[in-house]
Amino acid sequence: MHKHGFLRVAAAVPQLRVGDWAYNAERIAGLLQRAEAEGVALVVFPELCLTGYTCADLFQHPTLQRGALAGLEHVVRRGGQQYHGVAIVGLPLAVDDQLFNTAAVVCQGRMLGMVPKSFLPNYKEFYEHRWFAPAAAARSREVCVLGRSVPFGTDLLFRCDNIGGWTLGVEICEDLWVPVPPSSLQALAGATVLANLSASNEYIGKVTYRRQLVTQQSGRCIAGYVYASCGVWESTTDLVFGGHCLVAENGTLLAESARFARQETLLVADLDLEHLAVDRQRTNSFGAAAFYPGQRRDYRLVSFALDGVAPAPPLRRSIDPHPFVPRGEAQLHERCAEIFHIQVAGLAKRLEYVGKPPVAIGVSGGLDSTLALLVSCKTMDTLGMSREQIHAFTLPGFGTTRRTLDNARALMRHLGVQAREVDIRPLCLEQMRALGHAPFGIDLDGHDVDSLTARLRQLPAEQRHDLVFENIQARMRTNILMNAGFVIGTGDVSELALGWCTYNADHMSMYNPNVSIPKTLVQFLVDWVARHEFDGPAQQTLLDIVATEISPELLPPGADGQTSQATEAAIGPYELHDFFLFHFLRYGSSPERILFLAEQARFDRGYSPAELRRWLRVFIRRFFASQYKRSCLPDGPKVGSISLSPRGDWRMPSDAEAARWLAWAEAGAD
């Protein structure tokens, strides 16, 4: 068991000889040794793996039935000596003058329980009713196995007392393929990890459906799902088996084996029990479903404890360093189109409601305003309105660089919007004079705009700090836009999380299509649009915007004309803050856990543990301190899995204390 709520599990396919229980038990024991070496807490084997699924009428021979119990005894004994986790193996078991297709749950030399198969396929290639009885036909609730009384039935759940959040439910093959699988009821009763011992044969197209079935069931049950199917060593008289193994978690496929392998399989993955617990708590309809008529069922809890399971680092699952950004070419196209459809649909509805007015938008030559302008253009196209209804303003100030100004002008020209340019410096100068403010200690008497600009560029880098100077420019831009028409907002959710916006300035608008899009995704979207929707000079402009260093450009540039205000140098890399934001908001992860996950993620740029701790502390401090800005956000659509809207996903006191979260972050440094 990993720290931070991870459970290491495996789906295993041993070599097999049909009808040779001694050989099969030895192969199973060998895989348990491998699982022990890898720190696996749960191993799921295929259906009827002690005998082979394809024994047919041999199942009714007492010799095979007694042999299966002998094989089970070998696994229990060897497991008690060599494996410290839970193993689930399949065998035929004679009970109540009937034969049951059964899963035996074994832990450290102890039989925890026996779960019979509920639904027996008896169609097409399947003929299980010829040999087995369904679970509903059982009369006994206890069976004598290997000289001990063992719980028997489909009403068993197995709870680990020393690994929080782990309750195990077991079903067998066809049980998953029915309208209401036993695992659904098990999950509603508290099972967080579901195991399926299967013998699913291969034919064209079945693999896709099987994969979807397992993945979707893990999502419906908000659970981990471990699926192991028998391999190529089964009889091929009429069927071929591929040894397909899958591990899924809450709708996501974590690991999948190759089919038709001629070697034994041990597919290992780490399930995140803490994330599952958080999602179940938040999804209140999940808990309510347990009380829906016909869904409530009483289960017997079998308790156990694990000692000695020690998983070796690193995690056996991928921790996505960019959880908001899709991967894979097909997914990129699909996700991009979906994001734009959501943004455009939200803005189009709002514009229709207010009578399709002209809109005003500030275009800085940066990422956020570029994305908002692209969305505005697509919205106008969708509504059959002229793009000249977009009044796009570029508003150069004291910190504007030539590169961003040129890109803003070029972008507006390429997109065919009504372009306007307003130099805000004279207006800001007048306001500073009215306030009696001396920017950076400079007396404004005798200075006009040009002389002040020249003087500002001579300032040493260490003197370029003046919040009033920055805020006046930001609010002046918003004031001009608000007086020009229906204002389209441009700020993204990363800036809102960090409070990297000026209150009642770039923080405010009539509607903001970017409001729930993180900065890393904004970068990706603009890059994707550039490469797939444009060519020539327009494409080059967009790609240059993507490559431009992120900056609010409110402080004077240096003598070389380059910006002196790099956002990520001041507040940290956005890829880290987006990572922190995702895990903090989506799963409520503690700072210590976020640090652990960040250390497991493979960022293109390597970060030291000290860097991760530093920027996480910055994130926590700024997130708590900036809630007042998020409490009065304008409308805008939720696009991804998180939102900071005070009317939607996130409600938080503006004066909540961050001390305990910061203390945990410090503890994570040890």
Tokens of 83: 């494996």
Find, among 217, 188, 191, 375, the residue nearest to 290 by Cα.
188
Judging by beta carbons within 10 Å of its beta carbon (0-12, 13-18, 19+), is residue 307 exposed, middle or buried?
exposed
Q: How would you list the strands of the sheet with 86-95, edge to edge? A: 110-116, 98-107, 86-95, 42-44, 6-13, 265-272
- How far is residue 40's CA from residue 20's CA, in Å, rounded to a whole number? 27
Alpha-carbon dihedral sign for residues 460, 464, 469, 473:
positive
What is the SS3 assignment for 275? helix
Residues 6 or more apart whose CB falls under 8 angstroms from that of 269 comprise 8, 9, 10, 247, 254, 255, 316, 317
Is 38 labeled as catalytic in the residue annotation? no
165 to 10, 116, 223, 275, 280: CA distances (angstroms): 18, 25, 11, 10, 11
CB neighbourhood size of 646 (10 A):
14
Is 356 labeled as catalytic in the residue annotation? no
Dihedral angle, C-alpha 167, 170, 174, 180, nearest 10 °:
-40
The one catalytic residue in 49, 107, 173, 336 is 173
Q: Which amino acid, residue 598?
A: A
Find, among 169, 151, 147, the residue nearest to 159 by Cα.
169
Residues 6 or more apart whose CB falls under 8 angstroms from that of 407 comprise 365, 541, 544, 545, 548
Phi, psi of 303 (to 5 degrees): -95, 150
Judging by beta carbons within 10 Å of its beta carbon (0-12, 13-18, 19+), is residue 558 exposed, middle or buried?
middle
| H/E run at residue 537 | helix 536-547
| Helices and strands, counts by H and E, the chain | 21, 19
Are 25 and 181 a contacting pair, CB within 8 Å?
no
Are 529 and 374 a contacting pair, CB within 8 Å?
yes
Dihedral angle, C-alpha 464, 470, 473, 475, nearest 10 °:
180
Are 46 and 198 a contacting pair, CB within 8 Å?
yes
In 245-328, where does DSSP find H-type helix?
273-282, 284-289
The one catalytic residue in 49, 55, 107, 117 is 117
CB burial string 393-432: b at 16+ within 10 A, e below: bbbbbbbbbebbbebbbbbbebbebebeebebbebbbebb
- How far is residue 396's CA from residue 424's CA, in Å, rounded to a whole number? 6
Phi, psi of 488 (to 5 degrees): -90, 120
The one catalytic residue in 47, 171, 264, 274 is 47
Q: Please give the full DSSP string across 363-383, using - where no structure is assigned.
A: --SSHHHHHHHHHHHHHHHHH
Is 173 labeled as catalytic in the residue annotation? yes
- Known catalytic residues are 47, 117, 173
